[in-house]
Copies of this chain bind each other. A is one copy, B any other.
Amino acid sequence: MSTTSAEGPASQQGMRRANLALVLGAVSRLGSTSRAQVAEATGLTRASAGSLVNELLEAGLVREHGASLEGRVGRPSTVVSLNDRGPAGLGLDVGVEHAGACVVDLRGEVRIHIRRPARHRGQDPRTVAANLAEVAKTALARADELGLTLVGAGVAVPGLIGTSDTVVHAPNLGWHDVDLIGRLRDLLPDRLRALPVEVENEANLGALAELWRGSGARDFVHVSAEAGIGAAVVVDGQLLRGTRGFAGELGHMPVYPDGRPCACGSHGCLEQYAGEQAVLRECGLTGEVEEGERDRIELLADGARAGREPVLRALDQAGRALGIALAGAVNLVDPETVVLAGAYAELADWLLPGMQTELGARVRIRPWQPDGLVVSALRREGPMIGAASAVVQRVIADPSVLRG
């Protein structure tokens, strides 16, 4: 948090704002704490820290408990902590085969979780928006019951997002230049319509969820799969977006330059070996999926568990291709970890061996450590939780956004 903006010099106002964030950040880190401990942790005087804590109390961002801290000598002090009945973030998820909603409170806890099957592949944006509005309404009602105040929302979309928040390209939905937020707003109840709503690529949100709730790594390459392969690079706790917002196209890394033709027009892209369609095709399950209603990933996992050779072979090939592409990524950006997420996390048992083999063989200058490859605990919920957490993170980073 800088008090020197690009436009102007450092100011008293900017200082106050930065110190408010400093105090809220300290309460967030310390959990249940006292004004004195906040002063100590931030380097502020007790008077300043106390006055800033009071401001946060008034804004409903922290709450006060009557109890004194145990194990401390002297005058008992009041305990303050982040408010679990205060501002919260709403996350919405456009899955290819479901609509989801969740609510995350200021402490980062997922308090509400809704997932409803839906046919979104190739679906009209209006219908998808209506499905999202439905789960959002349900989430709002439950938030009211819990005393949580929704202060913003985020929508996770399997597609590329343009600078003006439109969905530029979502191949699995069949969308081009869709104003999803506009359509959604029209269908939301008044209290939600008034909130700031952001739309973001699901792979980016999955990576951010991992950043905020994962192992603590701040430099990692995050690779996930739903219908397509989504990847994101996080550098020093920041998402690398790229000049035009196209960073993370791991699915089109050349893995075998003279290999299979890809829908993108190139040859040998990762997607042709580790994409969902490619894996299903490789093990002859494409037909089974198109006829039935089975979850594709469960179908693969069941096949692998049952020891079906074609499935095991296809997943091994996918793991090796992922390993080759990631070896290039690791050599280029030297991350602390590689995180396997989304549907890949549910297939990790069968993908990891091939990935480790290729990473170990191809990352040699800085020798590859097998514990650098981790499996996300958020699995397919990462993007939606990331969308809700982004709202909360913005409040923690700058509490003054709520005081307009």
- Interface positions of A (Cβ within 8 A of B): 1-4, 7-10, 14-15, 18-19, 22, 42-44, 48, 160, 219, 231, 233, 235, 240-250, 252-257, 264-267, 269, 324-325, 327-329, 331-336, 361-366
Contact = CB atoms under 8 A, between A and B. Distances in A.
A172 to B, nearest CB: 14
Contact of A254 (B44, B235, B328, B334): B328
Given A9-B22, A244-B334, 15 more contacts: A9-B15, A9-B19, A9-B44, A10-B15, A231-B332, A242-B334, A242-B335, A249-B332, A252-B362, A252-B363, A253-B327, A257-B324, A265-B361, A266-B364, A332-B332
A264 B332 contact: no
Contacts of A333: 233, 240, 242, 247, 332-333
Contacts of A241: 334
A332 B334 contact: no
20 contacts: A2-B3, A3-B4, A4-B22, A7-B43, A9-B19, A10-B19, A231-B332, A241-B334, A243-B334, A246-B365, A247-B332, A250-B332, A252-B331, A253-B332, A255-B257, A264-B364, A266-B327, A325-B328, A328-B328, A328-B329
Contacts of A219: 242-243
B328 A264 contact: no
B4 A18 contact: yes
A366 B246 contact: yes
Nearest to A269: B362
Contacts of A8: 42-43
A10, A19, A241, A245: most-surrounded residue (chain B CB, <10 A): A10
Nearest to A253: B328
A385 to B, nearest CB: 25
Nearest to A256: B257
A334 B266 contact: no
A209 to B, nearest CB: 20
Q: How many copies does the complex hold?
A: 2
A365 B254 CA distance: 13
Contacts of A361: 265-267
A331 B250 CA distance: 6
Given A255-B257, A333-B242, A365-B264, A14 B9 contact: no
A362 B233 CA distance: 20
Contacts of A245: 334
Contacts of A257: 255-256, 324
A328 B22 CA distance: 40
Contacts of A231: 332
Nearest to A23: B9
Contacts of A254: 324, 327-328, 362
A386 to B, nearest CB: 20
Nearest to A8: B43
Given A254-B328, A331-B250, A332-B253, A244 B366 contact: yes
Contact of A243 (B249, B332, B336): B336
A48 B4 CA distance: 15
A48 B245 CA distance: 40
B327 A9 contact: no
Given A42-B9, A333-B242, A252 B324 contact: no
A245, A249, A257: most-surrounded residue (chain B CB, <10 A): A257
Contacts of A264: 364-365
Contacts of A9: 15, 18-19, 22, 42-44, 48
Nearest to A19: B9
A333 B333 CA distance: 9
Contacts of A48: 9
Contacts of A4: 1-3, 18-19, 22
Contacts of A3: 2-4, 10, 15, 18
